[in-house]
């Protein structure tokens, strides 16, 4: 069983950020995160020689900013000048950390996904269709977004489009089966869960419904115009 003391410095800061949001502070300032990190983990973030009285702001700030900081990792979203909020990915990491602290190690095993499945996840979760869907900008979606999401090209036509969409749905179903109610660790450090596979399925269903007329026209014409 892991304990909170086993977590890295960035992970501890992320837990402090989660605590701030649970208290209704979102977005929160860098200063608020410095204090929250120190209050929760005084040994890790106390100023050397004065740890009981003052936080080491540089230790926290260096973990937020920079090329390897929480913002660059995608765990925190920059909302303004020194204002941050937990990203969706950051919340997933928090859930994994909480699970690691609460459950036996045997129950923490990550689902094993293939290289092709990881490639699909990385591409789809970063797609313009998913981004617009999550940001509530569905009305801005165009068929080009859907085509990229499905991987449709100018070489797909007629029943080839139907076959590609069937294969795509099959890949999503297989991912849902493999990940189940657990999670999977990707090579870039991201942790994906059922929430992510559910998101992809929801986006796919929305796109198929919204662009059903486009798809039917393309099937009938035997050509794809994206």
**Residue 106 pLDDT:** 39
Global pTM? 0.52
CA 157 to CA 70: how far, in whole Å? Answer: 44
- Computed over its alpha carbons, how large is the radius of gyration of the chain? 21
Q: Above 90 in pLDDT, residue 179?
A: no
Alpha carbons within 13 A on the beta-carbon side of 196: 28
Q: Position of tokens 């949001």?
A: 21
CATH 1.10.10 in the chain is located at 4-86
Classify each residue of 72-86 as buried b or exposed e, where b means 16 or more C-beta atoms within 10 Å of its C-beta.
Answer: ebebbbeeeebebbb
Using a pLDDT cut of 90, give the percent of the chain over it. Answer: 32
Flag whether pLDDT at 80 surpasses 70.
Answer: yes
In the structure, what pLDDT confidence band is assigned to residue 109 with cuts at 50, 70 and 90?
A: low
- 4-86 folds as Arc Repressor Mutant, subunit A (1.10.10)
Q: Which residue has the higher pLDDT, 4 or 137?
A: 137
Q: Which residues pair with 29 in a beta bridge?
A: 83
| pLDDT over 90 (residue 198) | no
Q: Tokens representing 126?
A: 């970063």
Q: Which backbone phi and psi does 142 adopt, to 5 degrees?
A: -120, 170
Residue 174: which pLDDT band, with cuts at 50, 70 and 90? very high
Q: Which range scores top for mean pLDDT: 9-13, 67-71, 143-147, 212-216?
A: 143-147
* Average confidence (pLDDT) over 96-114: 67
pLDDT tens for each residue of 34-45 = 999 999 988 888
CB 88 within 8 A of CB 74: no
């Amino acid at each position: 069983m892991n304990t909170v003391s086993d977590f890295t410095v960035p992970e501890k800061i992320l837990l402090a950020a989660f605590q701030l949001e649970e208290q209704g502070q979102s977005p929160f300032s860098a200063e608020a995160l410095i204090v929250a990190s120190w209050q929760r983990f005084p040994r890790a973030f106390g100023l050397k020689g004065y740890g009981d009285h003052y936080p080491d702001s540089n230790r926290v700030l260096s973990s937020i900013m920079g090329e390897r900081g929480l913002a660059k990792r995608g765990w925190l979203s920059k909302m303004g000048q020194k204002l941050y909020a937990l990203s969706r990915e950051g919340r997933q990491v928090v859930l994994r950390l909480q699970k690691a602290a609460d459950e036996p190690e045997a129950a923490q095993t990550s689902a094993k996904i293939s290289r092709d499945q990881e490639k699909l996840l990385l591409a789809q979760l970063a797609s313009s269709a998913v981004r617009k869907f999550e940001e509530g900008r569905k009305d801005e979606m165009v068929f080009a977004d859907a085509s990229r999401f499905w991987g449709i090209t100018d070489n797909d036509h007629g029943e080839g489009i139907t076959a590609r969409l069937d294969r795509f749905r099959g890949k999503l179903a297989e991912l849902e089966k493999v990940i189940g109610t657990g999670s999977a660790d990707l090579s870039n450090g991201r942790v994906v869960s059922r929430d992510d596979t559910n998101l992809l399925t929801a986006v796919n269903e929305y796109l198929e419904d919204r662009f059903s007329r486009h798809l039917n026209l393309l099937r009938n014409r035997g050509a794809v115009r994206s």
